[in-house]
């Protein structure tokens, strides 16, 4: 073993260097102590050359033999006092041979102050000693015999019989994952409900044991085809903290994920009655009449996850392909009817993709208790829409970041589903809202008839484009019309545009559609992409002209 390793093996690399420098300093300081004795003011040490010229030299007989200084009149004292002199006191004075002439400078008559010659000797001996002792203590080897040095042995593990049993009754998780507990202060959730993911094929007996172990009440469960996950909705019957329950579940090896049942709200800012004027300003902004000469979204299925839709409205008659109710018993609502009409209206109004069809998934209700959709209902709606062949999914709602929905959206994205969401109506100071801020989603802001940003529209680097969303005329339940504003309507316009692109080229991927919409948009606001407008205002006609038309028979369908 190397000598340094034997001496400093117990210390980190940094402290090994410090110890070496300490020893080197100790060796270097020893000669300095001896040199201090040889300094001119040290007195009687080594014979050193004085620091002046034309000096008096002391002979063995203590007689002073010197030469008169050549520059004594300059005021410099360069003649050493003799051992015996006739002037001065205390035996100090000047020899006659070295006496300066009359009128020349004379040294002071008082006693001359000199340093104690013992001081340097003491420092020269003490300092190396102190440094040497410190270096010896710090670098003391771990073993008395450096040749047989070895690291200290690790503590022996106790036998299994002597170990303390774990506190938890169920199996524990060996790997640590990010916690699904809600952030501090998060209120957008059902206070006493959890969404838990269990491994596929978990038996009912294991589920019952899990519920009993954590004192939970099972509400419903479903296996989702998109992700293959088995999700359960549970209720906490007592007053325990939701975060504490989630962390306890995450330590259980039988649980994959646990999180709150979050709440999401529709992004409708204002609504009121209208007369249904066919002269919609959004038609000209997006160049829809020209675009419809190339494509109208024929046979493209668009999933709309929203509130109830009035399927009997003249603008929507025959345009709803299938419906799914995550909230049974809820009737049609103004928001869901307006979103569907913005996409496929074909009577007094003109939709963006009038030849497409709607897959209506009702996840939001009409009452105060059901107006907000939960994580579980949104998961069921996304899974249903993708399973029934939706190529586009419109999500005109916003809420907190939800890990379960993120996994569902990622699975839909891999199946070639274009995901579009409203940026949100929380204003410029709001943090990013989801699912618009999800990496797989096209986030849409809202503008008015003057291309000004809607004042309640969210901002951020995740904004993809902006679309008309202020004072938009849309269908309302019971055959009526309404004027609506918000990023919800803006998202519906981009969902219709995606359907046009898919009809023209069915093999386009979600990332390609995002790129086409951005590169063909008209820049608004600051030059280039910005957090307010994204890439700008889309141009439907220009977007369709930028791609080569292909028929569905020439490509393999990505729907499974």
Which has the closest alpha carbon to 509: 412, 395, 417, 393? 417
Candidate list 95, 230, 252, 306, residue with the active-site label: 306
User: Starting from the edge strand earliest in sequence, which strands make up the sheet with 357-362, in order?
Assistant: 320-325, 357-362, 301-306, 392-395, 418-422, 441-447, 463-468
**Helices 118-138 and 13-37, axial angle in degrees (round to 10):** 160
* CB atoms inside a 10 Å sphere around CB 341: 31
Q: Which stretches within 334-423 are classed as H helix?
A: 334-344, 375-387, 403-414
**Helices 204-214 and 242-250, axial angle in degrees (round to 10):** 130
Which has the closest alpha carbon to 19: 183, 139, 99, 126? 139
Candidate list 230, 307, 396, 488, residue with the active-site label: 488
Candidate list 214, 292, 313, 335, residue with the active-site label: 335
Cα distance from N-terminal residue to C-terminal residue, the chain: 66
Q: Which residues contact 421 (CB under 8 A, 6 or more apart)?
A: 394, 395, 396, 397, 398, 434, 435, 436, 438, 441, 442, 443, 444, 491
> Whole-angstrom Cα distance, residue 257 to residue 453?
39
Q: Are 466 and 537 in contact (CB under 8 A)?
A: yes
Burial class (CB in 10 A: 0-12, 13-18, 19+), 371: middle
Which has the closest alpha carbon to 224: 412, 382, 383, 359? 383
Q: Are 517 and 444 in contact (CB under 8 A)?
A: no
> Whole-angstrom Cα distance, residue 488 to residue 327?
21
> Whole-angstrom Cα distance, residue 499 to residue 357?
10
- Token pair belonging to 250: 């995450």
Query: Partners of 485 in the beta sheet?
Result: 270
Q: Which residues contact 496 (CB under 8 A, 6 or more apart)?
A: 297, 302, 342, 343, 344, 351, 352, 353, 356
Strand 270-273 to 418-422 pairing: unpaired
488 is catalytic: yes
306 is catalytic: yes
62 is catalytic: no
> Whole-angstrom Cα distance, residue 54 to residue 57?
9
- Where is 125: in which H helix or E strand? helix 118-138
Q: Which residues contact 369 (CB under 8 A, 6 or more apart)?
A: none
> Whole-angstrom Cα distance, residue 79 to residue 464?
92
Print burial letters for 239-268: b (CB count within 10 Å at least 16), e (below 16): eeebbebbebbbebebbbbbbbbbbbbbbb
Known catalytic residues? Answer: 306, 335, 488
């Amino acid at each position: 073993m190397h000598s340094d390793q034997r001496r400093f093996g117990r210390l980190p690399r940094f402290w090994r260097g410090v110890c070496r420098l300490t020893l080197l300093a100790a060796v270097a300081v020893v000669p300095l102590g001896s040199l201090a004795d040889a300094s001119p003011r040290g007195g009687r040490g080594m014979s050193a050359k004085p620091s002046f010229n034309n000096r008096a030299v002391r002979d063995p007989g203590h007689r002073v033999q010197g030469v008169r200084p050549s520059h004594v009149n300059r005021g410099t004292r360069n003649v050493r006092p003799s051992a015996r002199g006739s002037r001065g006191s205390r035996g100090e004075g000047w020899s006659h041979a070295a006496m300066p002439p009359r009128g020349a400078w004379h040294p002071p008559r008082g006693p001359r102050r000199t340093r104690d010659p013992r001081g340097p000797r003491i420092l020269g001996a003490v300092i190396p000693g102190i440094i040497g002792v410190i270096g010896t203590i710090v670098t003391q080897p771990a073993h008395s015999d450096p040749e047989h040095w070895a690291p200290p042995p690790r503590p022996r593990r106790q036998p299994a019989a002597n170990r303390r049993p774990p506190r938890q009754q169920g199996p524990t998780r060996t790997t640590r994952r990010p916690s699904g507990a809600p952030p501090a202060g998060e209120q957008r959730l059902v206070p006493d409900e959890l969404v838990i993911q269990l491994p596929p094929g978990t038996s009912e007996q294991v589920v019952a044991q899990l519920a009993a172990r954590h004192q939970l009440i099972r509400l419903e469960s479903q296996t989702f085809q998109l992700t293959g996950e088995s999700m359960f909705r549970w209720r906490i019957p007592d007053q325990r903290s939701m975060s504490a329950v989630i962390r306890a579940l995450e330590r259980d090896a039988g649980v994959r994920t646990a999180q709150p049942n979050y709440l999401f709200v529709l992004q409708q800012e204002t609504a009121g009655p209208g007369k249904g004027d066919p002269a919609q300003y959004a038609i000209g902004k997006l160049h829809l009449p020209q675009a419809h000469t190339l494509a109208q979204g024929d046979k493209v299925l668009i999933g709309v996850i929203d509130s109830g839709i009035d399927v009997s409205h003249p603008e929507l008659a025959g345009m709803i392909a299938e419906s799914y109710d995550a909230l049974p018993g809820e009737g049609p609502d103004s928001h869901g009817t307006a979103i569907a009409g913005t996409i496929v209206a074909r009577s007094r109004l003109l939709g963006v993709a009038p030849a497409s069809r709607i897959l209506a998934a009702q996840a939001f209700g009409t009452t105060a208790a059901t107006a907000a959709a939960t994580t579980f209902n949104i998961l069921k709606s996304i899974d249903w829409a993708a399973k029934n062949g939706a190529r586009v999914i419109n999500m005109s709602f916003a809420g907190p970041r939800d890990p379960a929905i993120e996994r569902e959206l990622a699975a839909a994205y891999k199946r070639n589903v274009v995901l579009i969401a409203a940026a949100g109506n929380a204003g410029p100071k709001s943090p990013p809202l989801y699912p618009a801020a999800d990496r797989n989603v096209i986030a849409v802001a809202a503008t008015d008839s003057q291309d000004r940003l809607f004042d309640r529209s969210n901002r951020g680097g995740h904004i993809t484009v902006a679309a008309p969303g202020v004072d938009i005329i849309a269908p309302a339940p019971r055959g009526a019309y309404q004027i609506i504003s918000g990023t919800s309507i803006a998202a519906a316009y981009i969902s219709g545009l995606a359907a046009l692109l898919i009809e023209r080229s069915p093999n386009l991927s979600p990332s390609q559609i995002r790129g086409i919409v951005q590169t063909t948009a008209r820049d608004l606001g600051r030059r280039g992409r910005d957090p307010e407008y994204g890439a700008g205002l889309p141009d439907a006609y220009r977007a369709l002209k930028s791609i080569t038309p292909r028929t569905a028979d020439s490509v393999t369908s990505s729907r499974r």
